[in-house]
Chain A
Amino acid sequence: MPSTYLWMILALPLLATVIIATVGRKLFPSKCHLPCVAGAVGACVFAVLTLIAVLQSDTGAVETGRDVVWINAGKMTANISLRADGLTAIMLVMVTFIGSLIAIYAAGYMHGDPGYPRFFAAVSGFLFFMLGLVLVNNFILLYACWEGVGLCSYLLIGFWFAKPSAAAAARKAFLVTRLGDIGLFIGILILWQNFGHSLEYDVVFINVKEQYDAHTLDPNLLFWACFCLFVGAAGKSAQFPLHVWLPDAMEGPSPVSALIHAATMVTAGVYLVARCTPLFGLSPNAQMLVAIIGGFTALLAAVIAVTQTDLKRVLAYSTLSQLGYMFLALGSGLGEQKLASLAVMAAIFHLFTHAFFKALLFLGAGSVMHAMHNVIDMREFGGLRKSLPITHWTFLCGAAALAGFPLLSGFWSKDEVLATTYGAWQHGHGAQPIVYGVLFFSALFTAGLTAFYTFRAYFMTFWGDEKLPHGVEHPHESPAIMAWPLRILAVGALLVGVVLGPTHLFQKVIDETWVIQAFPHLQGAHHPNWALMAGSSVIALAGIGLAYLFYVKQPSLADPAITLPSLYDLSQAKFYFDELYELTIVKPMTIFAHVCRIVDAYLLDGVVDLLGQIPAFLGFLVRPVQNGLVQFYALLMALGMAGFALSVLMR
């Protein structure tokens, strides 16, 4: 029964969480990875079964739970309805597969940590919420899962809560994403209010479509609804104004960075926008906004990544950049929807491949950290390719894929993105060609930068003279339990693109997505653009070559501080975004909080204390009655009775 698969996919990780959190903590604290891995692998099996079921089904979807009522209040009804179509199935497979590998890796990486059970409980919980997020079929459940992944992310970033920077990073991540979540909630409310008082995706989409066809749709309303949804997506996927939390989130353990802050959770925003393509597709302005924010974030993050010296931060900014790519693709669907299918396909394809190689890179970085005793600053070590051979080769695979090395997976997916943007440039009208043209060239430039900073990190870490941080004598390769996930992911990073991309397998699955089937004219043909491929290959190779030149061949050139000092400083300081936010938001808030505290402590508490004094005073007045003489109590009782009798008589 395909509908059972959906329940099982959710039930297994949840069961794992419950087991670990209740009995596992006490009974088998050092074996707590077993339920987590079992749950993830089981969910993965069911996810693959679901994918097959989706492909075989006539309707292109598996769904269940529409009759399970969750909330029924007034006009609002929410069901626990689950639904898997092509898009969901891909996300399911990706999340469960990467999640399984990372859980296995973490069993080695986290070995001996005192919070071992807590870690796996949180990871299982995260898997549950993430799978719920992609499986559910209505906005309010999506929101619930959205908050759930946020919670697990918070728990895992602050996993080493004794470390002040980790606690601060967790708080920052939670608060910044909270800003986005508010936007998402407002967006959901707007949709509920205006489109049929329903929260089910399909009802809302069809309603919007009907209003659009009847020309009764207010474009501004739809734009603001999309805008609010995108604010939520931007918060979760760390796009431009709300991007500051993601680099700090690298304070969490490396498997967490790989799973949550590279492969899965941060792509939730991309998923949301892709899922809401029927809305964005009808609002060209909203799509353009998505594209601009995505493109800008991609460029900005890439520029910052060039100068970072912390290996994980380079990868974090690279994640930002790649997420920007995905949004750029989604935003390039054009209002006329000719390219919408292609855009969704490109974004999700890039999401899919990115999950593989970025998880691989983070796990590789974790492996390096593991060997370097938690030192992650690339200036502290170098030339590790001899001592860490497996890590080196797998990292190279990931880096090459990320850089867009021809025929590797990143190449294919990035090419789709560029092709989509190019298409938007070519087919747009009004202001669109200019905007998308600029975005296209910015994306090309970003591709070059990506290749450059990726290999900069690679060369700095693995090439040059062997250099070890203080206190590390003999760097040793990671154990098998960590090495095998690296190998598997490396194979994925190399081959996923070429297997799924040129063969149109991915396109086929995405076409099973209900939204695209329900809106037939969204479908668009996909023709490979050979010239574009060649161009992007050249750019990627040029970036790699430049990195080789700067960091291996002639390291003396590698001091861009001399060549472009101001830009270098800006980039090194992450364009002062943190400081800017500190000044414009955090400081005023702190001052406001102080004012509130004074008002609370002196004004409100004073009033409350005064109110509290009144009963105390009344009590003081009547307290002599309680003199402990039972006879006196009886006298009072008799007097009361007499008063009562008198009042009755007199009435």
Chain B
Amino acid sequence: MTPGTLESYLLVGAALFVLGLVGFLTRRNMIIMFLSAEMMLQGVAINLVAFAKFRGDLGGQVLVMFIHTVAACEAAIALALILLLFKRGKSLDVSLWQDLREADQDPIEDEGTPPEPPKPAEFQHLTPAGAEPAKKEAEKVSHA
């Protein structure tokens, strides 16, 4: 295994980590936030495994085992908390929980659900003036 190969793995790990970070920061669904956090852990795990191979040291893999353990604990607690919060707020939206803000701050209101795009207006079809007789025939056929 060469440093170049190692670097490739590390790059993938870094990319997964940053993707998870962005997901955690942008998504408002608590479940997806949590999944993003797990993805960050995956990025770190790839790093560790690559280093274990590179250095011939199984310590890296052992560390990944512990990451899994902690991730499992975290998942259990976090899901329990998410359920609790869902029972309280009837929603998975993290924006519901802003109680830590300064006393005189107004809560942040998210923009509402984006309105459905307006349907194209349907105008009544007026009978075209001075219609050609031939077309009338055709309409009749279609009605039939």
Cβ distance A45 to chain B, nearest Cβ, rounded Å: 69
| Dominant secondary structure of chain B at its interface with chain A | loop
Q: List 20 A-B contacts (CB under 8 A).
A: A623-B102, A624-B105, A626-B100, A626-B101, A626-B102, A627-B102, A628-B97, A628-B100, A628-B105, A628-B107, A629-B94, A629-B95, A629-B97, A629-B98, A630-B94, A630-B97, A630-B100, A631-B33, A631-B94, A634-B24
Supply 9 further A-B pairs (C-beta < 8 A) apart from A623-B102, A629-B97, A638-B21: A626-B102, A627-B98, A627-B102, A628-B98, A628-B101, A628-B107, A631-B28, A634-B24, A634-B25
Cβ-based interface call for B108 (8 A):
yes
Whether a CB of chain B sits under 8 angstroms from the CB of A561 is no
Chain A residues with CB under 8 Å of B107's CB are: 627-628
Q: What's the minimum C-beta distance from A643 to chain B, rounded to whole angstroms?
A: 15
C-alpha gap A623/B105 in the complex (Å)? 8
Instruction: Give the docked Cα–Cα distance between A463 and B42 (Å).
Output: 111
B95 nearest in chain A by CB position: A629
State which residues 55-114 of B face A: CB under 8 Å: 94-95, 97-102, 104-105, 107-108
Kindly list chain B residues whose C-beta atoms are within 8 Å of the C-beta of A630. Answer: 94, 97, 100
Which residue from B25, B33, B105 sits with its C-beta under 8 Å from A627?
A: B105
Q: Quick one: closest B residue to A634, CB to CB?
A: B25
Q: Could you say which residues of chain A place their CB within 8 Å of the CB of B108?
A: 627, 629
When each residue 616-630 of chain A gets 1 if its CB lies under 8 Å from chain B and 0 otherwise, what string results? 000000011011111
Question: Which size bracket describes the interface of B in this complex?
Answer: 10 to 19
Q: How far is B94's CA from A626's CA once the two chains are assembled, in angstroms?
A: 16
Task: Let me know if A628 and B99 touch, CB within 8 A.
Answer: yes
Q: Which of A607-651 contact B (CB under 8 A)?
A: 623-624, 626-631, 634-635, 638
In chain A, what residue has the closest Cβ to B101? Answer: A628
Contacts of B105 in A (CB 8 A): 623-624, 626-628
Determine the chain B residues whose CB is within 8 A of the CB of A629 once the complex forms.
Answer: 94-95, 97-98, 101, 108
Q: Is the CB of A627 within 8 A of B94?
A: no
CB neighbours (8 Å) of A624 from chain B are: 105
Interface centre among A627, A631, A635 (most CB of B within 10 A): A631
A interface footprint on B12-38 (CB within 8 Å = 1, 0 otherwise):
000000000100110010000100000
A623–B108 alpha-carbon span in the complex (Å): 13
Q: What is the chain B residue whose CB lies nearest that of A635?
A: B25
Q: Is the CB of A638 within 8 A of B101?
A: no
User: In chain A, what residue has the closest Cβ to B18?
Assistant: A638
Give Cα distance in the complex from A472 to B74, angstroms.
Answer: 89
Partner of A631, one of B25, B99, B101, B102: B25
| Residue interface bits A305-339, CB-to-B below 8 A is 1, else 0 | 00000000000000000000000000000000000
Contacts of B100 in A (CB 8 A): 626, 628, 630
Q: How far is the CA of A631 from the CA of B94 in the complex (A)?
A: 8
